[in-house]
């Protein structure tokens, strides 16, 4: 295959050695309309900071479009363009292929330019899944698709998405008199699914901005390695999850330390767990009970102990039964599933 694929050089973005070595300049800055304590806005800021000035960013419909850019005003320093809800994959392909053609044909200066398309969980895990999947099968375009996952359509009044956790209260899944749990689907395993399904994709990672250094270095690796890449970021959302904005950072840490959100990267097909997740997998760190995470959020306030136990059992299964713990949900034998009545 390689002989038919002509790959352009990428920018070589070296890992940032520590928070003290962090570049000072911002490329996504203030003046947006996002909520107090919006972790997704933090993702935008640190993603742009990691990528640097020679970058084009394409943003799918969602909070990071509506709240960030209020016409005739913006928060972006680097070029930014809106793309349709399900089009992050197509947008990245379009910009990357356009730049590539123009450079090859000598119509513009030949230089590596980062192309990043972002989408929320609605735009990525739901509507945009096929376009993202297609983009990841094109080894000849250098692009990064970053999915900021705040676990609901938070921009349209918080409706459930394929990425909303089991049982969560949303405007489309309100706990009622007859049904306590309206949303009984389990969260899609986006990064795992994409890594397993796109063998030629060189880099797929999960991140959380409560661990900014690793997250930013993930972005840098994704932009340097060549070809299409994907990063899935879990973003605590004070608005949709219903918690005090001051606790955004802590909420992200809890998602990881309870084992609900595993941190890993799949580089050239090689899986590597990192941070607390690695310690959990190696038994060097005892997972916090999910109760500590769930009951800090209003969206789970209606949970009974049975619901919490069930949630815990599913997370335990991730770590104790999955073929690749936390990543690939294949089991060695059939498990029975008993959600609470």
Partner 1 sequence: MAQAVASLEQQADKTALITGSEAIAVACKLADVDVITAYPIRPYDTVMQYVAKLVANGELDCEYIVAESEHSQFEIVKHASAVGARVFCGSSGVGWMYAFEALTVTPGLRIPMVAMVGNRALDDPGAFGVEHNDALAVRDLGWQLVWVDNPQEALDTALIAYRVAEDRRVFLPCAISCDGAFLTHSQALVKIPSQEKVDAFLPPYNRGDLLLHPDNPITVAPQVNEDWLMEIRRQTAAAMERAYTVIREAYAEFEQIFGRRYGNPFFEEYQTEDAEIVLVGMGTLSTPVKVAIREMRKEGKKVGFVRVRWFRPFAAEELAKTLGRFSAVGIIDRDFSLGSPYLSGVLATEVRAAMYPAAKRPPMLDFICGLGGREVTLPDVKKMSDIVYHAAEGKPQPLTQWIGLRE
Partner 2 sequence: MGRLFAVEIVYRGIFQKTLAKNISRAIVLAAHQEGKPGISFGRYGDSPERNGVPAKNFAIVATDDQTLEEGMAKYEPKEVDISIAVDDTLCKGVESWAWYGLQPINRLLKPGGTLIVTSREEPEALIEMCHRKEYPYQLAIVKGIPSFSGLWVYKEDHSDVRILGAIAKVLPELFSLESVQKAIRAEWKDELKATSAARSYERITTVTVPPNQGNPEEPFKFELPKWSEMREGVTIPAIPRGHAMENTATQQVGGWQPERNPTFKKFSTRTMRPVVDFDTCIKCTLCWLQCPDSCFDVTPDGLYDANMQACCGCGVCEAVCPVQKCVTMVNETQFRDNDSQWEMWNKDKEGYKKWLLEKIEHGPGPQRSHGFRYRGQYEEQVPEMLEIAREG
User: Would you tell me the crossing angle of helices 129-136 and 190-197 to the nearest 10 degrees?
Assistant: 40
Buried b (16+ CB within 10 A) or exposed e, 54-84: ebbbbbbbbbbbbbbbeeeeebbebebeebe
Query: At a CB cut-off of 8 Å and minimum separation 6, what does 272 contact?
Result: 264, 265, 266
Residues 10-39 that bind partner 1 (CB under 8 A): none
Shorter beta-carbon distance to partner 2: residue 33 or 321: 33
Query: At a CB cut-off of 8 Å and minimum separation 6, what does 18 contact?
Result: 213
Residues 137-166 that bind partner 1 (CB under 8 A): 138
Token reading at 252: 């992200």
Shorter beta-carbon distance to partner 1: residue 102 or 246: 102
Q: Specify the stretch interacting with partner 1 by CB under 8 A; choose among 72-80, 168-176, 213-221, 297-305.
A: 72-80
Residues at the site binding partner 2, with contacts judged by CB under 8 A? 19-20, 22, 24-26, 28-39, 41-42, 45-46, 53, 66-67, 70-80, 154-158, 169, 171, 209, 212, 238-240, 242-250, 295-299, 301
Q: Of partner 1, partner 2, none, which one does residue 180 interact with (CB within 5 to 8 Å by kind)?
A: none
99 binds partner 1 (CB under 8 A): yes
Shorter beta-carbon distance to partner 1: residue 97 or 317: 97
Using a 10 angstrom Cβ sphere, with 0-12 exposed, 13-18 middle and 19 or more buried, the burial of residue 133 is middle
Q: Of partner 2, partner 1, none, which one does residue 45 interact with (CB within 5 to 8 Å by kind)?
A: partner 2
By C-alpha distance, which of 16, 59, 243 is closest to 148?
59
Token reading at 173: 């899944």
Judged by CB under 8 A, the number of residues near partner 1 is: 48
97 binds partner 1 (CB under 8 A): yes
3-class DSSP state for residue 170? strand
Q: Which residues bind partner 1 (CB under 8 A)?
A: 53-56, 58, 65-66, 68-74, 76-84, 86-87, 89-95, 97-102, 104-105, 107-108, 113, 130-131, 133-134, 138
């Amino acid at each position: 295959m390689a002989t038919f694929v002509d790959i352009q050089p990428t920018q070589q973005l070296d890992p940032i050695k520590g928070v003290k070595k962090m570049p000072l300049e911002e490329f996504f800055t203030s003046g947006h309309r996002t909520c107090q304590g919006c972790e997704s806005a933090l993702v935008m800021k640190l993603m742009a900071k990691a990528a640097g000035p020679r970058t084009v960013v394409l943003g799918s419909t969602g909070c990071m479009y509506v709240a960030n850019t209020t016409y005739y005003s913006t928060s972006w320093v680097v070029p930014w363009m809106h793309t349709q809800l399900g089009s992050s994959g197509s947008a990245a392909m379009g910009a990357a292929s356009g730049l590539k053609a123009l450079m090859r044909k000598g119509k513009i200066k030949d230089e590596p330019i980062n192309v990043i398309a972002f989408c929320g969980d609605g735009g990525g895990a739901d509507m945009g899944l096929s376009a993202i999947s297609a983009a990841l099968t094109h080894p000849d375009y250098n692009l990064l698709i970053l999915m900021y996952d705040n676990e609901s359509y938070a921009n349209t009044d918080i409706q459930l998405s394929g990425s909303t956790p089991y049982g969560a209260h949303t405007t489309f899944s309100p706990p009622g008199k007859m049904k306590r749990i309206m949303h009984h689907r389990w969260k899609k395993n986006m990064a795992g699914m994409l890594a397993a399904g796109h063998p030629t994709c060189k880099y797929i990672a999960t991140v959380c901005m409560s661990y900014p250094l690793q997250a930013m270095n993930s972005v840098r690796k994704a932009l340097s390695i060549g070809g299409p890449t994907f990063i899935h970021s879990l973003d605590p959302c004070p608005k949709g999850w219903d918690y005090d904005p001051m606790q955004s950072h802590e909420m992200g840490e809890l998602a990881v330390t309870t084992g609900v959100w595993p941190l890993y990267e799949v580089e050239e097909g090689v899986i590597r767990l990192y941070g607390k997740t690695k310690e959990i997998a190696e038994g060097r760190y005892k997972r916090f009970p999910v109760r500590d995470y769930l009951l800090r959020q209003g969206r789970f306030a209606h949970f009974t102990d049975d619901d919490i136990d069930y949630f815990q059992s599913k997370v335990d299964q991730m770590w104790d039964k999955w073929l690749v713990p936390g990543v690939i949900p294949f089991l060695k034998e059939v498990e029975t599933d008993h959600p609470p009545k």
